[in-house]
């Protein structure tokens, strides 16, 4: 594999909460054009890993690099502006704002200009078209004027992705984007992910194993905060350790 | 969409009507009425400055009196003795004093959250209060007088002489209109929308790429400058400042004004300031309450409790609450 395609690289990332080691020396690479799935049982440290990569939680040890630059000490906001976008497992939107405003505010992060106090944000020539574009791509073009709090669960998950895309990220850290979705919504989301894969490096934390094995190019299996295996889907499926620790219990 | 347009228009109409009423008020009343409404408009400006923090950004600040009072003191202390100061520099300097203390208070208090934040802002305001109250700098409990009020002149032409009550009234009115217009534009701007995002979901704002701390600090500084404008006007109107201008009673009263009027609306802050002044005059009136009028704080307090209990969204929400009660249609929660 060429190192050129690596956008985000985590090296020996560790996170301790008191005596508990939630993430234990995890290393992984996210390449443009690939979906890298992270799977594991509940409490395996997947969400904590996403939080560390996005800068929401500081790492206790190890380093994170973006395009070769060490970003371990960068704030979450700075990482987001540099191209690291994330979605949340529990939907975190702005429920009282319209769908369009949710997306527009996310797009505004790349065009903040807070000193222009006289300029109407809803006429912003940068953030409004960007918001309409991502809302359409996520399948929300018909509900732009609805308050986001009135959307169905599946639509909220789509909005979550749309807001993540609105910041024009190169790296997508998606925390269970399929959680609670129906079959049809799942198909639409997988189609969107397949489309996004071409120009993004995607980390996907997901419990839906069928979906993971369909879309992932690489899978990292975590157990108790540590990496048990990291390989292609076929190799992971055949890995006896993984079968014993994780997949075996389902088959 | 149509209903929204109608609502929008009725909001603009109510603001215009209120503005006209305030502009024409001096024609209908004597010097007492002019002075009372001028004072209330000054409180409305402080209430608007607090609305920017509480209503727009979600930061409950309990130290607004510090910006107000320090700017008032600055106006008096910096005026030359026996001569009129120029409004052109004294007003910006007083506002800068309010903004500077807001920068100081905000920079440190914004590192805390929730109840701690409220208490820390209160502590900073009390600090300013005791410095003014107990050091020779502030002139002690008795306060200091401003003997000659500032004037605005271009060359030798006198434009505004704040010593004349009517000139002062219309100057205060102009300031209120300017602050209202400024905050209305600010609320729609990218800056204002970012503050709203911080109020609703700060975690998401950070994840999206907004450094929220500088935004909140900027809101603090703008709020401090506006409260400073009000403090300047108050000092000039009374020709006198004392430590009570910085007391926590004033911070609390301004907080009550915006709660009374309806948090989240600029009009709510103005309506709240007027409702508060009206209630105060009502319960202080000896013609209505006789000897009980000296216990006016009790009456005022009860009236506020009743109002907040019956109108949880403030006076601004009273209209929609009433129509929905009468027509028995379910209320839409935004």
pLDDT per position as a tens digit, B314-332: 888 887 777 777 776 555 4
For residue B156, name the pLDDT band (cuts at 50, 70, 90). Answer: confident
pLDDT at A4 over 60: no
Task: Report DSSP letters for A176-237, one per residue.
Answer: -TTTT--HHHHHHHHHHHHHHHTT-EEEEE-S-HHHHHHH-SEEEEEETTEEEEEE-HHHHH
Residues in chain B closer than 8 A to A117 (CB atoms)? 182, 185-186, 189, 191-192
Closest chain B residue to A101, measured at CA = B193
Lowest mean pLDDT among A84-88, B102-106, B317-321: B317-321
Residue B299 confidence (pLDDT): 87
What's the pLDDT tens digit per position in B205-253?
999 999 999 999 999 999 999 999 999 999 999 999 999 999 999 999 9
The CA distance from B274 to B254, in Å, is: 11
Q: How far apart are the first and last CA of chain A?
A: 32
Note whether A159 and A99 are within 8 A (CB). yes
Q: Is B218 on the interface with A (CB under 8 A)?
A: yes
| CA distance, residue A238 to nearest chain B CA (Å) | 37
Please answer yes or no on whether A94 and B201 come within 8 Å at the CB atom. Answer: yes
At A140 the three-state DSSP class reads coil
Where in chain B are the domains?
A: 35-247
Number of Cβ atoms within 10 Å of the Cβ of A249: 9
When pLDDT is averaged across residues A113-140 and rounded to a whole number, the result is 93
Q: Which two tokens stand for residue A250?
A: 């389902």
The CA distance from B66 to B246, in Å, is: 5
pLDDT at A143 over 90: yes
Please answer yes or no on whether A88 and B207 come within 8 Å at the CB atom. Answer: yes
The CA distance from B272 to B266, in Å, is: 10
Q: What is the largest CA-CA distance in chain A?
A: 63
Q: Which two tokens stand for residue B11?
A: 């909001």
Domains along the sequence of chain A with CATH: 1-83+169-251 (3.40.50.300), 94-168 (no CATH)
pLDDT at A48 over 70: yes
What's the pLDDT tens digit per position in B22-47?
999 998 888 899 999 999 999 999 99
Q: Is B192 on the interface with A (CB under 8 A)?
A: yes
When pLDDT is averaged across residues B65-73 and rounded to a whole number, the result is 96
Note whether B267 and B10 are within 8 A (CB). no
Residue labelled with tokens 């209202």? B180
What's the pLDDT tens digit per position in A53-66?
999 999 999 999 99
Residue B285 confidence (pLDDT): 84
Please answer yes or no on whether A92 and B185 come within 8 Å at the CB atom. Answer: no
Residues in chain A closer than 8 A to B212 (CB atoms)? 77
């Amino acid at each position: 594999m060429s190192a050129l395609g690596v956008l985000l690289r985590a090296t020996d990332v560790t996170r301790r909460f008191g005596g508990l080691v939630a993430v234990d020396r995890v290393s992984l690479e996210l390449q443009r054009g690939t979906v890298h799935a992270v799977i594991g049982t509940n409490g395996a440290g997947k969400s904590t890993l996403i939080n560390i990569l996005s800068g929401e939680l500081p790492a206790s040890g190890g380093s994170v690099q973006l395009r070769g630059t060490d970003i371990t000490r960068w704030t979450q906001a700075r990482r987001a502006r540099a191209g690291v976008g994330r979605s949340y497992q529990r939907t975190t939107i702005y429920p009282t704002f319209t769908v369009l405003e949710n997306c527009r505010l996310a797009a505004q992060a790349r065009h903040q200009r807070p000193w222009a106090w006289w300029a109407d944000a809803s006429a912003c020539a940068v953030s409004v078209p960007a918001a309409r574009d991502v809302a359409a791509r996520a399948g929300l073009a018909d509900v732009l004027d609805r308050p986001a709090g009135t959307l169905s669960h599946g639509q909220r998950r789509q909005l979550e992705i749309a807001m993540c895309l609105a910041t024009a990220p190169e790296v997508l850290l998606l925390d269970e984007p399929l959680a609670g979705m129906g079959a049809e919504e799942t198909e639409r989301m997988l189609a969107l992910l397949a489309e996004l894969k071409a120009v993004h490096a995607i980390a996907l934390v997901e419990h839906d194993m069928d979906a993971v094995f369909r879309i992932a190019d690489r899978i990292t299996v975590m157990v108790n905060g540590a990496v048990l295996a990291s390989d292609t889907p076929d190799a992971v499926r055949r890995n006896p350790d993984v079968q014993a620790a994780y997949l075996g219990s389902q088959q | 969409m149509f209903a929204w347009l109608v609502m929008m228009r009725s909001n603009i109409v109510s603001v215009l009507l209120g503005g006209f009423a305030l502009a024409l008020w001096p024609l209908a009343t004597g010097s007492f009425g002019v002075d009372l409404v001028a004072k209330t408009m000054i409180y409305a400006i402080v209430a608007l400055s607090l609305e920017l923090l509480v209503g727009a950004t979600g930061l409950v600040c309990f130290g607004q009196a510090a910006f107000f009072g320090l700017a008032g003191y600055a106006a008096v202390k910096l005026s030359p003795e026996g001569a009129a100061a120029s409004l052109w520099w004294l007003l910006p300097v007083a506002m800068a004093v309010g903004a500077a203390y807001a920068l100081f208070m905000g920079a440190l208090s914004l590192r805390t959250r929730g109840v701690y934040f409220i208490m820390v802002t209160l502590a900073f305001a009390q600090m300013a209060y005791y410095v003014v109250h107990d050091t020779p700098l502030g002139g002690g409990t008795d306060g200091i007088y401003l003997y000659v009020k500032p004037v605005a002149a271009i060359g030798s032409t006198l434009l505004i002489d704040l010593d004349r009550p009517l000139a002062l009234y219309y100057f205060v009115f102009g300031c209120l209109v300017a602050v209202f217009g400024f905050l209305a534009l600010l609320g729609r701007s990218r800056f204002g929308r970012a503050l709203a995002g911080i109020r609703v979901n700060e975690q998401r704002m950070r994840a999206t790429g907004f450094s929220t701390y500088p935004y909140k600090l900027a809101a603090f500084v703008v709020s401090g400058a506006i409260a400073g404008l009000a403090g300047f006007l108050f000092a000039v109107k009374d020709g006198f400042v004392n430590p009570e201008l910085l007391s926590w009673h004033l911070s609390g009263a301004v907080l009550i004004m915006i709660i009374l009027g309806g948090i989240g609306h600029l009009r709510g802050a103005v309506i709240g300031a007027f409702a508060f002044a009206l209630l105060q005059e009502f319960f202080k009136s000896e013609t209505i309450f006789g000897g009980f009028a000296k216990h006016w704080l009790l009456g005022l307090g009860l009236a506020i409790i009743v109002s907040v209990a019956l109108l949880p969204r403030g006076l601004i929400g009273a209209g929609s609450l009433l129509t929905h009660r009468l027509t028995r249609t379910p209320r839409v929660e935004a």
